Every structure is written in C-alpha cells, then in structure tokens.
Chains A and B, each alone.
Chain A
Amino acid sequence: MKLRSAIYLASAAFALAVLTLASTLPSDAADKVDPVADAKAFRKFFTDKFPKVKLEDFVNGPYSMNEDLHRQWQEKEQFPPYEFSLEMGKEMFSKPFKNGKSYADCFPNGGIGVRQNYPYFDEKEGKVITLELALNRCREANGEPPYSYVKDEMAALTAYMAFTSRGKPMDIKIPNDPRALAAYENGKEYFYTRRGQLNFSCATCHVQSPGERVRAEILAPALGIVNAMPIYRSEWSGMGTTSRRFTTCNSQIRGVPLSPQDDEYRNVEYYLSYVSNGLPISGPGARP
C-alpha cells in the first residue's frame, strides 16, 4: 500500500513537472522573435518534406515539384515568354529621364546585380523598402510619374534587374533595430494568418500544400518563391510583379486585397525574402 501511493505521488509530481516544462518552453520561444532560427526551421521544413529536391531548385516553384512540368519548362526556357518584357526592361533601364539622370543613379552598383538585396529595411524611414517601391521613388524623385505596381513597365524593369542578378544568393539583412524586427514579425504574422471567405492563409497553400494541385495548378513552395519574381504567367498571359502575386493571391482566396506596396505586403515580402536567404535569384520566371 505504501509503495503504491509513493509511486502514485512520484508519477504525479513527474507529470506536473512535465506540464510546467511544456507550458513554459513554447511560450518562451513564441515571445522571442528569432529570425535566424525561423529561417533555419523554415528551410528544414521544406528540405525534409521534399528530400529529393535540391535546395537551389526550390526557386523554380512548381517545376521543382513535378517531373512532367519540369520537362515542359526546360523546353520553354529555350524560348522564354518573358523575353519581350526583359528586352523592354533593358531598354527602359538605360534610357535617361527628362532631367538626364537614369535609374542607375538611384541604385547601388548602377542597379546591376543588386536584386538579392531587396527588400531592405530603411532605418531612417523605419520601414521596408521593396525594389518596386524604390523604382517608383526613383521615378518620382526625377520628376517622372510612377508606374503601376502590378505589371507592364514595372514588371519589365524588375525583370531586367532580376536578370542581371541571376544566380546571386538572396541576401536580406535585418538590422539591429526593433522596428526592423517588428516589420519582420508583422510580415510573418500576415503570412500565417487566415483570411478571406475560403479562410486560407498564405501558408495554407505554400507551406502546407506545395506540390499539391489547386484545380490544374501545382502549388509552389514558399521557400524561394520570391526569388523568381517577376514572373510571366500563362494564366495572366503577361508579366506580373510580386505586388501582383500578393494581390491576386488575396482575391483568389476570396479576400479583399490590400493596395500594392501597403505596409503589410512590404513586410510579407521582407519576411519571405529573409527566410529564402541563400537561395539563388532566378527571376524573371515563367509559370503556367
């Protein structure tokens, strides 16, 4: 009898200890924003889920998930549909503004091979600056009207800038600034928050179900998804920027999209780019 009650007591104490341990551990982790650990866990999730896919291949979206699609894509890449846009972007980029300056004057290294550093956190402004935003600011600073964020000219310019940076690893930095961490955290929260009539988060499709089909489309993995931007989508029969991807994603889940380059979208892009650090830039891309 004595022994039995002792065991009982001991096991109860043990259970209690485990309980308290369990309740303190995760809340500690959740309270602290740790982008380095996030990025590591994020990458591990995908490499574990798709052990056959090479790390640098994730940037090719659905083509890394499906062999048939991959073959079609290789054929397509011999004559990529973004070629016209790329050429237009190259022309636009080198053409000076009315005041004689050009895009090259607004960017480090003349705008060539810098795509992997965008978006960055501007400590003066306290906000995330994306490549698209920087391009339009450049235009406005030089007395030119801004372009639409979603397609055509903006897609052509970003396509050219991405093309000159192809193969360079994504290199997003989070400066030691609480606002930068907050922007990152806000982006992460947006990414994982369910919204819209279908009650989907970004992660529902791009973390939970990459490689699965949504009707005829194969979902792309979130890891490296921004590295391929901008993209020519056959579905759009045209080019689209990161802004276009975010807004159409939001409408497709029957939510109300924000305006392109709203703070939240900039933060999501910041978060997504950061967790894709180290993966090569592959834009402009072509998608079904």
Chain B
Amino acid sequence: MASTIRVRATSSGETTEVQALIQHPMDSGFVKDAKGEIIPPHFIQQLTFEYDGKNVFTADWGGGVSKDPYVKFAFKGAKKGDELKISWVDNKGATDTTTAKIQ
C-alpha cells in the first residue's frame, strides 16, 4: 500500500520549509453514521518530524483536527539532500513512517 504520508521539504539555504499531507479519517468520536450509530474515535495522537535523530516538530493531535490533515512549518539547520523522518501514531495504535529527502 502506498504511504499515507506525503511530504515536501525544500531548503532555501538557512531554513527548510516542510509541508505534509496525511491520509487519515480523523474521526472525532462524536459523529453518528447513517444508521445513527456513533463512529468510534479514530485519530492521530502524535505526529513527529525527525531530523538527524532529533525531533524538530511534534504535534499532539486530537479529534478536533480535520480529516486528511495538512501541516506546514519551517526549521533551521538542515541541508539539501539530508533526510527527514516523519511518523504518526493514532489512538488505535496504528502507525506509519516515511522519510523524505530535503530538496
């Protein structure tokens, strides 16, 4: 299966701009389906971006974040060609990881 994470990281010399799109239902647990039954909560709890063994960005998410969430941030100190590791864990224990080369 294709990765659930799309990442684009571009360096402009000093800072690296990172954009990511993650495929996830992000069910809050407060919504009912067509039959009137509650859709159980299913959302990403933690999203981390790792560079050179260090966390450069961590997001603690909950059910209030939209489906297929999008993140954008920038950090200093990375070079072109370096690798960025992205991973998430959801409340059901599922996880996905990918790496992206900084362009």
Contacts and interface: CB of A to CB of B under 8 A. Distances in A.
Interface of A: 78-79, 81, 83-84, 87, 234, 237-238
A83 B8 CA distance: 13
Given A237-B66, A237-B67, A81 B19 contact: no
Interface in B6-49: 6, 8, 19, 21, 23
B70 A84 contact: no
A94 to B, nearest CB: 14
Contacts of A84: 21, 23, 68
A87 B23 CA distance: 12
Nearest to B6: A83
Interface string B47-79: 000000000000000000011101000000000
B94 interface: no
Contact residues on B (Cβ < 8 Å of other chain), bracket: 10 to 19
A87 B8 CA distance: 17
A87 B68 contact: no
Contacts of B70: 79, 81
Contact of A237 (B19, B23, B68): B68
A79 B21 CA distance: 7
Say whether chain A's binding surface is mostly helix, strand, loop, or mixed: loop
A78 B19 contact: yes
A81 B21 contact: yes
Contacts of A238: 67
A254 B67 CA distance: 28
A242 B7 CA distance: 30
B21 A87 contact: no
A239 to B, nearest CB: 11
A61 B8 CA distance: 27
Nearest to A237: B67
A84 B5 CA distance: 10
Contacts of B67: 237-238
Contacts of B2: 87
Contacts of B21: 79, 81, 83-84
6 contacts: A79-B6, A79-B70, A81-B68, A84-B68, A237-B66, A237-B67
Nearest to B70: A79
B19 A79 contact: yes
Nearest to A232: B68
A81 B67 CA distance: 10
Ranked 8 nearest A-B pairs via Cβ? A237-B67, A84-B23, A79-B19, A79-B21, A81-B68, A79-B70, A83-B6, A237-B66
Nearest to A84: B23
A230 to B, nearest CB: 16
Interface in B80-94: none
A83 B70 CA distance: 12
Contacts of A79: 6, 8, 19, 21, 70
A79 B2 CA distance: 17
A67 B66 CA distance: 25
A80 B93 CA distance: 28
A222 B8 CA distance: 35
B76 to A, nearest CB: 21
| Centre residue among A81, A234, A238 by max chain B CB count within 10 A | A81
A238 B24 CA distance: 12
A193 B70 CA distance: 40
A75 to B, nearest CB: 9
Given A79-B19, A79-B70, A237-B67, 15 more contacts: A78-B8, A78-B19, A79-B6, A79-B21, A81-B21, A81-B70, A83-B6, A83-B21, A84-B21, A84-B23, A84-B68, A87-B2, A234-B66, A237-B66, A238-B67
